[in-house]
Amino acid sequence: MKGLFKSKPRTPVDVVRQTRDLLIYASSGSDIRESKREEKMAELCKNIREMKQILYGNSESEPVSEACAQLTQEFFRQNTMRLLITCLPKLNLEARKDATQIIANLQRQQVQSKLIASDYLEANMDLLDILISGYENTDMALHYGAMLRECIRHQTIARYVLESQHMKKFFDYIQLPNFDIAADAAATFKELLVRHKSTVAEFLSKNYDWFFADYNSKLLESSNYITRRQAIKLLVDILLDRSNSVVMTKYVSSRDNLRILMNLLRESSKSIQIEAFHVFKLFAANQNKPPDIVSILVANRSKLLRLFADLKTDKEDEQFEADKTQVVREIVALEPRDR
Amino acid sequence: MATRDHEPEESSKKIQYPLDAKAYKILDEIGVGVSAVVYKAICVPMDSILVAIKAIDLDQSRADLENVRRETKTMSLISHPNVLRAHCSFNVDCRLWVVMPFMSCGSLQSIISSSFPDGLPEPCIAIVLKETLNALSYLHNQGHLHRDVKAGNILIDSDGSVKLADFGVSASIYETNTAPGWGQSTSSSPLMLTDVAGTPYWMAPEVIHSHNGYSLKADIWSFGITALELAHGRPPLSNLPPSKSLLMKITKRFRFSDYETKKNFKSKKFSKAFKDMVASCLHQDPSNRPSAEKLLKHFFFKNCKGTDFLVKNLLHGLPSVEERFKGGKNSHKNGSDGEDTGSELVKQRRISGWNFNEEGFQMEPVFPTEAKDDTVVKQVRFGGETIIPDNKSSGSDYSGQCNLSSPKQDGEEAQVVTQGESEGDNRELTASASESMGGSGGDGGEVDREAMVGGLVALRRSLDEQRQQVSNMIVLLGGEVSREDQLVQLNDRLRMELEAEKQKNFELEMELEFLKLQISGAYNSGGTD
């Protein structure tokens, strides 16, 4: 097969152009015969595969950066990304996977040391709306989800998603019954909340009230084990990040938050308990504990101390033990107010 | 590639299985692993169709959710007749249920151990391997490594269809950059993975020595080992050199002793085509192994029979999967359905290389002949976990071995030695150092200079320590006055001499003063007078 095509090697630009033409054809209504259309779709899939091979290489050859740059430039010069995204449901599974990998790869391609994908997306923010709503479509969710995660590597794009109304929907997507999709949504949610530190810090302080109210009630108090486990882990990542210190201070001053964390400490799941401890220690270590926090800790002192005595990590973890000793010391030293 | 007009939508759209535990009725347990149980069940609303449910205990499994997510995602985005696809997955409390098609004849490993202990007939092997290669070829084209190809992961249905299963450790070479777990890749090529996963006997040398990175060809190696497994009834590990402790360990745990004593498989005749095909998969150098696609064109597969041949010759009269699982559980051998049994193995060992003996149609692992191997360099764990290289440099085994062999650094080995023993020790150290050199030449093709220097430095240090110990010992035995003692005595003697000299000097000075006084007195008296 290889020998057949060797006579007329197509440039990366040719491949992108032909793909675009075929995508336009695929997205338009079909007014031609079935067989003809079938043929065109097969050709489209072949072109998509070829683009992937230019970008990723194959078993025989590594990708060539010059070819990648040409492809990237041509791809974003016109609206190929939009066409590919909107036509995705019309492609077969293999072509969908190829397309997803192409779009993922292109987000990192630099042309003259510029990420032109970022510029393109900034001018086409509505594409993100399509990608995000993909979580509501079982067949598209994993493809659109993977593309979305690559797009939010760009800070401006992540900010757009964080500040959009979509952010609220993630709390539901994370709890979808289909594990694959829910886990994919959770991975995207996490990426949004940890990758771009300054943007995240700004988002959290602006949206503190609704965000943590939802985070507590929908995620940390969810009836779904995986949701709770992922949520508590992410909460640790968020609060322990230095750039979120203002948010952290606010979080550990609320008795409602403390109550939720203490419930998580009592879970039968070891993983959840350990993660919950990492948040709880922040409440205990806070040197300006509000009186209501102090009184809760004092009232539950013996229970907490018993719990910590039994709480151990599977592998030996010196840091964990040191933290535990510190927390226990803090709790023991608290002045009982009821006496 | 079927791309019919209205089909694409359908071909990629799965029939949606219910995402609710209530819709399924569990019939029997058919497999068990460290953190997962596999059940045979029916899906009531779907006409009570049979399914296999793998229930993974997420709280117990040390693999974090990210790995589980990747596994199920891979399984649900795959569509090939020879690859087991998940119908759906959802969680039931802290367990994740992965619902899959029920493959009524179970894994080839369980078929072999229950009914074909000495291996399968060659025509059956050809069919099974060809179907497996189709799966590998598809996966590799997608950029997926399976990483755990073995008979225990090849499942057969009652109609003879063959499917490759268990993506517990599969990885995508395209995802190396995004997945946090693979982030530490030291390899410059993005299409290489550097962590260790899989089941030991089937593992390619470059996976064991994973610092060099490995890729799709590692699956081809495992495929070759699987071929031997099907032919002989178990993976190759026979004809071990009489390296006492190591051999003991392996035979004790895996009952391979009979592999050596039972010579009857030698009378078994395999075709030249088969031997040639397997040999090509077992090249030390990954680049010399053929791709899955190329392997499919090997003449061994040319006149391969259809899967109905399997139904008549392999599956006829087999005990059911459930029966086999129960039987296996009682005798506590490798009898259970292969789903997860592989991941139970946690063991330490080191193989410096493999030699494939094409004549005898066996693999001969090359172990360092040194008995000190017990201080294993790499600790390999299974079940989707990554390895923990023992030495921090993680670079090379060779420096590691030298370091570990040096008595002072390894507490256990630091011992009071008599003169004779100590000399013996030294010889052993030298031996193991040169062994390492040989090993490095064997697999890497070049000697890691830095590692070598590190090793030699450690060796020298150890020799110094040995010498010190020997001298101490001699002193202890009163055989000879130590140099230090001699020095101390010499020092004392010298000090005494010095004191004596000083005394003498002082006396002379006094005398001189006295004489001076006398002279000046004489002058004075003479002058004034």
Q: What is the pLDDT of residues A303-328, one digit of tens each?
A: 999 999 989 888 888 899 999 999 99
Mutant choice from B7, B22, B94, B192 vs A, greatest count of A C-beta within 10 A: B94
Nearest CB to B93; choose among A57, A91, A225: A225
Q: What is the pLDDT of residues A85-122, one digit of tens each?
A: 999 999 999 999 999 999 999 999 988 888 999 999 99
Nearest CB to A96; choose among B12, B16, B216: B12
CA dihedral A183, A184, A187, A193 (to 10 degrees): -110
Nearest CB to A139; choose among B4, B13, B96: B13
Question: Does A147 have pLDDT greater than 60?
Answer: yes
What the block records as the tokens of A165 is: 């109304």
Contact (Cβ atoms closer than 8 angstroms) between residue B414 and residue B408:
yes
Q: Cβ contacts of residue B46 below 8 Å, gap of 6+?
A: B15, B17, B18, B23
DSSP for A91-128 reads S-HHHHHHHHHHHHHHTT--BTTB-HHHHHHHHTTHHH
Mean pLDDT over A203-222 rounds to 96
Q: CB atoms < 10 A from the CB of B183, how many?
A: 9
Task: Tell me the C-alpha distance between A146 and A135, whole Å.
Answer: 11
Q: What is the pLDDT of residues A13-27, one digit of tens each?
A: 999 999 999 999 888
**Type and span of the H or E element at A188:** helix A179-194
Mutant choice from A33, A92, A142 vs B, greatest count of B C-beta within 10 A: A92
Chain B: residue whose CA lies nearest to A269: B59
Q: What are the chain A neighbours of B12 within 8 Å (beta carbons)?
A: 92-93, 96, 139
Give yes or no: B148 in active site: yes
Question: Does A220 have pLDDT greater than 70?
Answer: yes
Q: What is the overall mean pLDDT for chain A?
A: 91
Angle at A94 between CA A32 and CA A63, to 5 degrees: 110
**pLDDT at res. B332:** 42
Q: What are the chain B neighbours of A142 within 8 Å (beta carbons)?
A: 73, 76-77
B94–A225 CB contact, under 8 Å: yes
β-partners of residue B162 are B156
Q: How far is A139 from chain B (nearest CA, A)?
A: 6
Task: Tell me the C-alpha distance between A130 and B41, whole Å.
Answer: 38
Q: How far is CA A106 from CA A57, A282, B77, B250, in A?
A: 14, 41, 21, 49
Chain B: residue whose CA lies nearest to A89: B9
Q: What are the chain A neighbours of B77 within 8 Å (beta carbons)?
A: 93, 97, 142
A93-123 burial by CB neighbour count: b if 16+ within 10 A, else e? bbbbbbbbbbbbbbbebeeeeebbbbebbee
> Residue B471, exposed/middle/buried by CB under 10 A (0-12, 13-18, 19+)?
middle
Contact (Cβ atoms closer than 8 angstroms) between residue B315 and residue B158:
yes
Angle of the B397-405 helix axis to the B419-443 helix axis, nearest 10: 170
Amino acid occupying residue A167: M
Q: Cβ contacts of residue A292 below 8 Å, gap of 6+?
A: A255
Q: Is B317 helix (H, G, I), strand (E, B) or coil?
A: coil
Angle of the B272-281 helix axis to the B217-232 helix axis, nearest 10: 140
Contact (Cβ atoms closer than 8 angstroms) between residue A99 and residue A48:
yes
**pLDDT at res. B363:** 60
What the block records as the tokens of A244 is: 């979120």
Chain A: residue whose CA lies nearest to B294: A59
Angle of the A80-87 helix axis to the A126-133 helix axis, nearest 10: 20
Task: Tell me the C-alpha distance between A312 and B14, whole Å.
Answer: 43
Residue B362 main-chain phi, psi, to 5 deg: -145, 160
Q: What are the chain B neighbours of A90 within 8 Å (beta carbons)?
A: 8-9
Angle of the A225-239 helix axis to the A270-285 helix axis, nearest 10: 30
Mutant choice from A68, A94, A268, A270 vs B, greatest count of B C-beta within 10 A: A94
Q: Cβ contacts of residue A23 below 8 Å, gap of 6+?
A: A44, A80, A83, A84, A87
A37–B89 CB contact, under 8 Å: no
Task: Tell me the C-alpha distance between B404 and B411, whole Å.
Answer: 10
Mutant choice from B77, B99, B288 vs A, greatest count of A C-beta within 10 A: B77
Rg for chain A, CA atoms, rounded: 26
A136-140, A220-224, A249-253, B326-330: least confidently modelled range: B326-330
Q: What are the chain B neighbours of A138 within 8 Å (beta carbons)?
A: 16
Q: What are the chain A neighbours of B381 within 8 Å (beta carbons)?
A: none
Task: Tell me the C-alpha distance between A244 and A206, whole Å.
Answer: 12
Q: Cβ contacts of residue B81 below 8 Å, gap of 6+?
A: B134, B161, B163
Q: How far is B141 from chain A (nearest CA, A)?
A: 8
Q: Is B168 helix (H, G, I), strand (E, B) or coil?
A: coil
Task: Tell me the C-alpha distance between B28 and B374, whole Å.
Answer: 41
Q: What is the overall mean pLDDT for chain B?
A: 67
Q: Compute the count of residue pairs across chains A and B with CB atoms less than 8 Å apart.
A: 103
Q: Can you tell me which residue has the tokens 């489209």?
A: A44
B76–A142 CB contact, under 8 Å: yes
Rg for chain B, CA atoms, rounded: 35
CA neighbor of B105 nearest in space, from B324, B313, B304: B324
Contact (Cβ atoms closer than 8 angstroms) between residue B164 and residue B84:
yes
User: How is residue B407 annotated by DSSP?
Assistant: T
DSSP for B112-133 reads HHHH-TT---HHHHHHHHHHHH
Q: Is B193 helix (H, G, I), strand (E, B) or coil?
A: strand
A92–B76 CB contact, under 8 Å: no
Q: What are the chain B neighbours of A96 within 8 Å (beta carbons)?
A: 12
Write down how long chain B is: 529
Question: Does A241 have pLDDT greater than 80?
Answer: yes
Q: What is the pLDDT of residues B385-442, one digit of tens each?
A: 333 333 333 333 333 333 333 333 333 333 333 333 434 344 333 333 333 333 333 3
Q: What are the chain A neighbours of B178 within 8 Å (beta carbons)?
A: 104, 149-150
Angle at A326 between CA A323 and CA A329, to 5 degrees: 150
B101-132 burial by CB neighbour count: b if 16+ within 10 A, else e? bbbbbbbbbbbbbbebeebbebbbbbbbbbbb
Q: What is the pLDDT of residues A150-177, one digit of tens each?
A: 999 999 999 999 999 999 999 999 999 9
Q: Cβ contacts of residue B2 below 8 Å, gap of 6+?
A: A92, B11
**pLDDT at res. B72:** 81
B91–A92 CB contact, under 8 Å: no
**pLDDT at res. B268:** 63
Mutant choice from B12, B61, B70, B138 vs A, greatest count of A C-beta within 10 A: B12
Amino acid occupying residue B279: A
CA A63 to chain centre: 27
User: How is residue B336 annotated by DSSP?
Assistant: S
Nearest CB to A225; choose among B77, B88, B91: B91
For each of the domains in chain B, give its residue range(s) and CATH number, in order of start. 15-101 (3.30.200.20), 108-363 (1.10.510.10), 391-476 (no CATH)
Contact (Cβ atoms closer than 8 angstroms) between residue B232 and residue B362:
yes
Residue B106 main-chain phi, psi, to 5 deg: 75, -165
Catalytic residue among B64, B148, B443, B485, which?
Answer: B148
Q: CB atoms < 10 A from the CB of B148, how many?
A: 25
Nearest CB to A179; choose among B13, B59, B96: B96
DSSP H helices in A152-219: 155-163, 166-173, 179-194, 197-206, 208-214
Residue B120 main-chain phi, psi, to 5 deg: -95, 160
Amino acid occupying residue A253: S
Chain A: residue whose CA lies nearest to B5: A38
Contact (Cβ atoms closer than 8 angstroms) between residue A41 and residue B3:
yes
Q: CB atoms < 10 A from the CB of A89, how many?
A: 17
Q: What are the chain B neighbours of A225 within 8 Å (beta carbons)?
A: 58, 91, 93-94
Q: How far is A334 from chain B (nearest CA, A)?
A: 34
B65–A230 CB contact, under 8 Å: yes
Residue B290 main-chain phi, psi, to 5 deg: -75, 160
Q: What is the pLDDT of residues A172-190, one digit of tens each?
A: 999 999 999 999 999 999 9
CA dihedral B435, B437, B438, B443 (to 10 degrees): 120
What the block records as the tokens of B377 is: 């360099």
Residue A291 main-chain phi, psi, to 5 deg: -55, -40
Task: Tell me the C-alpha distance between B193 and B200, whole Å.
Answer: 17
B96–A45 CB contact, under 8 Å: no
A178–B19 CB contact, under 8 Å: yes
Name the pairing type of β-strands B154-156 and B162-164. Answer: antiparallel
Nearest CB to A38; choose among B4, B73, B91: B4
Q: What is the 3-state secondary structure (H, E, C) of B342-362?
A: HHHCCEECCCCEEEEECCCCE
What the block records as the tokens of A55 is: 């970008």
Nearest CB to A97; choose among B62, B77, B191: B77
**pLDDT at res. A321:** 92
Nearest CB to A180; choose among B66, B76, B93: B76
Q: Is B505 helix (H, G, I), strand (E, B) or coil?
A: helix
CA neighbor of B209 nearest in space, from B395, B433, B453: B395
DSSP helix, strand, coil percent of chain A (3-state; round to 5): 75, 0, 25
Low-confidence residues of chain B: pLDDT under 50: 1-12, 169, 174-196, 210-212, 238-267, 331-352, 367-446, 527-529
